[in-house]
Structures are given as structure tokens and as C-alpha cells.
Structure 1
Amino acid sequence: MIVWVIAGLLGLATGLRIGWALVNKQSLVSTAMILALGSLGLVAALNWPPLTLLIDTTLHWPNISMGLTQLALIACAAGSCVMITTVSSDRKPATIRKIALAQYGVAGVIAIVSFASFFAAGQQPEMAPEEYLRATLSSEGNSLPWLLPLLYVLLALTLVSWAGMRYSNRSRRGRALFVFTIGIVLIVLASGFFLLRAIWTAGPVGVGAAATLLGCAMLVVAAGSLLPSVEDWFGARRELRIISPILKELGRRHPDIGIGVRPRGPLVFRVAERMSLISDALFLEATAADSTRRLRVDTSGSLPARDDEDDDSDLEVPAVSPTAQARAIAEWIYAGREGAAEDKHADFPGLGWLRQPAEYSDREWILEISRGYRQLAR
């Protein structure tokens, strides 16, 4: 049961990566992640005794599922290594692609040699995966087919662990990379224990303990891979609640702004689409308000005519805190809603007030304005 939970989580993570790759442009990183997660899920599935027996019986070679497990471990190490080197490299795309192909080529050669060594060792009686490991990684068994794949997995995933720890940070993706790297470190430890068992038959840790550690490592890798999607979903739900009041009000004022086909896909895409609607509506509101103010000034004659320097200064970001700037925009929108009291009227602060401060992205600025409007609406 635990094996299928691990395989299911890894399969879910692989499916999410495949879906992301279909929605976005396929890249080396996406392909490498799909290969790494899918191969690790295959390792978990191949170690479920009923499936192991079915594969061995179908292919008419006892314990061949263990040979396939070696190939899956090599593919996981190769995909993880390509992923981390591609992310951390600042070389040209053509050079990165050549490096990735070279890494896949090395992994392919090791996989062929390992599989050939597995068949060269001859057939053995049908055994459960853990029993097979105990038999082959003992003084009476033939541990040679395990040496090369375990050594490659150990070296490749050590590189992944080092790079993963180096590039982990407090961002959403950085946290996921940290959890993923912890899982890779556990796989390195489990591979090291298996390798020591193959070389030194006594070994500091038994096969059962090393297999349990490998299972825990798979769970941590799956958690690290799913963490961005989980955080994106909860973050998108929270952002939808924040922007909902101002989106409803601006949608009432500009019903034509949302005409068209709504995008399908992850929730974060729909949040981004609604934020673009808010941005467009704010621009229309600000343009109309600024034109009305200019017309009122020109016709009344109470203020001097504005020259080009005044126009430029009107577009400058005001010297107030970003929170106060966003609050002023929110109050202006809130005062123009239907049924608002006349004494609550707020004048348009100016086009410069709509421009986000340097430390804010477009998305963060829309969220800040929406947050101020939501507080007023409460």
C-alpha cells in the first residue's frame, strides 16, 4: 500500500509536469523533470511484489524487474542532473542543449552496460525485490551488475544535491527546490548504503533499512515536486478573494472589457487574466478622469494653462509610501461606485498615482490596490 502511495504521488507530480509542458513551451527543464519523476515513480511501482511477479512472468526472465529498476534509477539520475545543470547554467541555449545531450549519452551508455551485466549474470530463482537485493548484495551473490549503476547514481545525484542546496532560497520555487534536494540527498545516502553493501558485504546498514530510506526519499522528492503546485493553488485562491471586489466594480463600469474566451488551464492563469482586466479597466477609468479634469480646468479658466513640464510632473510617482499610493487609488474607485454618498466623493489623484513604485511588479501593484479596495468594501 505504501509503495503505491509513493508511486501515486510521483505519478501525480509527473502528470502535473506533463500538463505544464503542454500548456507552456516544452523545454529541457520540463523534459528532464518529467524523466526524473516518472523514472522514480517507476522504481516505486516495480518494487510492488505483485507487479514484479507479473512483469517477470510476462517477459519470461526471473527478476528482470530489478534490471528495469536499475535503468529507472539511471534515468532518474540523468534527468535530475540535466534539470539542475540547465537551471543553474548561464550559457547559450545551444550550448546547454549540447551539454544535456552529452549527459543523456553518458547515462545511455551506462544503462546499456548495466543491463548487459544483468543478463550476463544469468537467471536466478524468482524472488521478491528486497529478497533479491539481499541475495545479490551478499558474499554468495553477484553484486557486479549493481556497481556501475549505483556508482553513477551516487555521483550524479551528489552533483544535484550540491547545486540544489546552492540555489535554494526563500521564494516559492526556492522552497520547493530545497525540499526536492532533501529527497535527493536521502537517495544519495540510500545509494551509498547499497554500494557499500555491494563492495563490503557486512555494510553499516542492512538492505531493509536502506530500502526504507529510499522509500522515504521518494516521498520527499514527490512532496518537493508537488509543493509549487499546492502553493500556487492556495495562493491563487487567496488572490482571487483579494481582487474579487474591485474586479466586480470595474466589471460593472466596463462590461465590454471582459468580452472574449476565458483561458483554461491552471488557476494561476485565470488569476493573471483577471488582473489584466483590472489593469485595463483602471487605465480606462484614469484616462477618462484625467480628460474630464483637463476639460474642466480649460473651460473654467480658474487655473493657468498646463505646459509640457507640468504634464511630465503629473506622470511622476508621488512621494508617498506605496501603501498610501495604492490606498488613494482604491478610495477613488470606491467613491465612484453606485449608491456612494456625495460627501464621500474622492477626486482623481492623477495618472502618476497609477504607476507602480519601482519595488513593485505589475501583479504586486494590482494586488496592493485590490487589497486597499477590499478593506474599504468591508
Structure 2
Amino acid sequence: MIIWVIAGLLGLATGLRIGWALVNKQSLVSAAMILALGSLGLVAALNWQPLTLLLDTMLRWNNVSTVLSQVALIACAAGSCVMITSASSSRKPATIRRIATIQYLIAAAIAAVTLIAFFLSPQQPEMAPEEYLRRTLGDGGSALAWLPPLLYVMFALSLVVWAGVRHSNRTRRGRALFVFTVGIVLIVLASAFFLLRAAGSTGFIGVGSAATLLGCAMLVVASGSLLPSIEDWFGARREMRVIRPLLEEMHDRHPNVGIGVRPRGPLLFRVAEQMSLISDALYLEATRALGADVERASRAQDPELAKTSPNEQARRIAAWIHAGRGGDRDAANVNFPGPNWLRQPASFSDREWILAIASQYRALEKSADVAVV
């Protein structure tokens, strides 16, 4: 059951990445992330004993699921390495693609060597994956076949760990990268144990404990991969609540803005679209407020604006919109601070600025509701 929970989480993370790649332009980083997460999910699934027996029976080779797990782990390491090196590289796209191709070719060569060594070795009796590891890792000839994949996985994932720690930060993506890196560290530790076991020099930990560590690593990697989507979803829900009052007011004033637009797809896209509609409606409302006042419309600077904080600037815009509700719309236009006040401060992005105005407007709405009560 635990194996399928881990495989399900990794499958969900892979599906989200595939969906994101389909909605957006396909990139080298997205493809590498899909390969890494999908391969790690396959490693988890291949350690489920009924599936192991089914594959062994279908392919007519005992314990073949174990070597497939090794190949999947190699693919995971290759995908993770390509993902982190491509995302953190400042080289030209053509150079990044060539480096990624070289990394994939090296991983393919290691996987081919692993498969050849497995199929050339004498067949073992049918057994569970954990029991197969316990027997072959301690057997001199069979243990040597584990060295190429384990050395490659440790080297590639060590590079991922180094780059992940270097680029982790307090941002939403940085936190997710840190959690993902913690999971990769656990995989490196589990691989190190298996490597020491293959060399015949481990007695402090059993194969079962190392397999459990690998399972924990998969769970952490899945959590790190899902964390951005979870935070984005909750963040988008909060932003929708913040902008809803201002969006409804702007829609009542300018119902024709956004005709033909279908607010579907990922929640983040819907929020961005609604913020764009608010921005367009604010521009139309400012144009209406200025009317024939050409001098005010062409004023390049406003001395008062230079002395005003961003929060106060957003509050003035929100207060102007709030005062113009219903029949008071024309009377409120005399309080319009000016077109320059609609421009976001240098420290704000377009999205952050619309969100700041919407937050101030929502606060005014709540204050008005309390006053009425």
C-alpha cells in the first residue's frame, strides 16, 4: 500500500508536469523533470511484488524487474541532472541542448551496460526484490554488475544536490527546490549504502533499512515536486478572493471588457486573466474620469505622487473606485487622483499592483459593510 501511495504521488507530480508542458511551450527542463519523476515513480511501482512477478512471467526471465528498476533509477538521475543543469545554466540554448544530449547518451550507455551484464549473468531463482538485493549485492561476481549504475547515480545526483542547495531560497520555487534536493540527498545516501554493500564492506545497516530510506526519499521528492502546484493553488484561491469585489465592480461598469474570453484552464491563468480585465477596466474608467481635461491627461509628473507610499497610492485608487459605486460615479470623478497614479511603483509588477489595489478596495468594502451594520 505504501509503495502505491509513493508511486501515486510521483505519478501525480509527473501528470502535473505533463499538463503544464502541454499548456505552455515544451522546454528541455520540463521534459527532463517529466523523465525524472516518471522514472522514479516506475522504480516505486516495480518494487510491488505482484507487478514484479507479472513482469518476470511476461518476459520469461527471473528478477528482470530489478534490472528495470536500475534502468529507471539511471533515467531518474539523468533527468534530474539535465533539469538542474539546464535551469541553472546561463549558456546559449543550443549549447544547453548539446550538453543535455551528452548527458542522456552517457546515461543510455550506462543503462545498456547494466542490461547486458544482467542478461549475461546466470539466472537466479525467482525471489522478492529485497531478497534479490540481499543476495546479489554480497556476491562478488554479481555485485560488480551493480557498480556502473550506482556510481553513475551517485555522481549525477551529487551534482543535482550541489546545484539544488546553491539555488534554494525563500521563494515559492526555491522552497520546492530545497525539499526536492533533500529527497535527492536521501537517494544518494541509499545509493552509497548499496555501493558499499556491493564492495562487501557494510554491516551497520541492512538492505531493508536502505530500501526504506529509498522509499522515504521518493516520498520527499514527490512532495518537493508537488509543493509548487499546491502553493500556487492555495495562493490563486486567496488572490481570487481578494480581487473578486473589485472585479465585480469593474464588470458592472464595463461589461463589454473581455468579451469572447473563456476563463478556463489552470487556476493561475484564470487569476491572471481576471487581473488583466481589471487593468483594462481601470484604464477605461480613468479615460472617462479625465474626459476633456487634456492638460491633466498629458501631465507627465505629479509632485504629490512622488511623496506617496505605494500602499497609499493603491488606497487612493481604491477609494476613487469605491466612492464611484452606483449613482455616485460621476461625482466621484472629481476625486480621481490622476492617470499617473494608475502606474505601478517601480518595486511592483503588474500583477502585484492590481492585487494591491484590489486589497485596498476589499478593505474599504469591509469597512462599509461594518458601518452599515
Q: TM-score, normalised by structure 2?
A: 0.94
Aligned ranges 1:31-50 → 2 under 5 Å: 31-50=31-50
Matched, 1:356 2:340: no
Aligned to 2:202: 202
Say if 2:142 is the partner of 1:154. Answer: no
1:328 lines up with 2:354 in the alignment = no
Contact 1:317 1:357 in 2 (8 A): no
User: After the TM superposition, which residues 136-151 of structure 1 pair with which residues of structure 2 at under 5 Å, given as runs?
Assistant: 136-139=136-139, 142-151=142-151
Runs (4 or more) in structure 1 with deviation over 6 Å come to 341-346
How far the C-alpha of 1:314 sits from its partner, in A, is 4.3
Q: What is the identity, as a one-letter code, of the residue corresponding to 1:336?
A: G
CA distance in 2, matches of 1:138, 1:46: 22
1:1-378 to 2 correspondences below 5 Å: 1-139=1-139, 142-292=142-292, 294=293, 306=295, 311-314=299-302, 317-338=305-326, 347-378=335-366
C-alpha displacement at 1:204, in angstroms?
3.1
Instruction: Give 1:316 shift.
Output: 9.1
Q: Is the 8 A contact 1:196 1:203 kept in 2?
A: no
CA contact (8 A) 1:11 1:41 kept: yes
RMSD between aligned residues:
1.9
Partner Cα separation in structure 2 for residue 7 and residue 266 of structure 1? 24
Contact in 2 for aligned 1:42/1:72 (Cα 8 Å):
yes
Output the CA distance in 2 between the equivalents of 1:246 and 1:374. Answer: 7
Deviates more, 1:132-141 or 1:77-86: 132-141
Give the whole-Å Cα distance in 1 for the aligned partners of 2:303 and 2:23: 38
Matched to 2:364, the amino acid is L
Q: Which amino acid aligns with 2:91?
A: R
Give 5+ residue unaligned stretches, structure 1: 296-305
Note the C-alpha offset of 1:201: 4.5
Structure 1 residue 312, shift from structure 2 partner: 1.6
Change (3 A) 1:307 1:2: closer
Secondary structure, counterpart of 1:182 in structure 2:
helix
**In structure 2, C-alpha distance between the alignment counterparts of 1:76 and 1:317, rounded to whole Å:** 54
Residue by residue over 1:164-212, the C-alpha shift from the partner in whole angstroms, topping out at 9 and shown as x without a partner, is: 0000011100000000000000000000001001102434321111000
Change (3 A) 1:276 1:345: closer
**Unaligned regions of 5+ residues in structure 2, if any?**
367-373
Give the stretch that moved more between structures: 336-345 or 78-87: 336-345
How far residue 39 of structure 1 moved from its aligned partner, in angstroms, is 0.1
Deviation at residue 349 of structure 1 after TM alignment: 0.3
2:183–2:218: 8 Å Cα contact kept in structure 1? yes
Of stretches 202-211 and 365-374 in structure 1, the one that deviates more from structure 2 is 202-211
Per-residue deviation, 1:58: 0.6
Structure 1 length as normaliser, TM-score? Answer: 0.93
Shift of 1:109: 0.5
Tell me the CA shift for residue 307 of structure 1.
9.4
In the alignment, the residues of structure 2 paired with residue 328 and residue 225 of structure 1 have an alpha-carbon distance, to the nearest angstrom, of: 41
Which segment drifts farther, 216-225 or 138-147?
A: 138-147
Inter-CA distance 119–307: structure 2 relative to 1 (3 Å threshold): closer
Cα distance in 2 for partners of 1:339, 1:180 equals 55
Question: In structure 1, how many angstroms separate the alpha carbons of the residues matched to 2:133 and 2:244?
Answer: 57
Deviation at 1:287, TM superposition (A): 1.3
Q: What is the CA-CA distance between 1:121 and the residue it aligns to?
A: 1.4
Task: Report which stretch shifted further, 257-266 or 4-13.
Answer: 257-266
Q: How far 1:162 sits from its partner (Å)? A: 0.5
- Report the more deviating stretch, 116-125 or 31-40: 116-125
The match for 1:303 is none
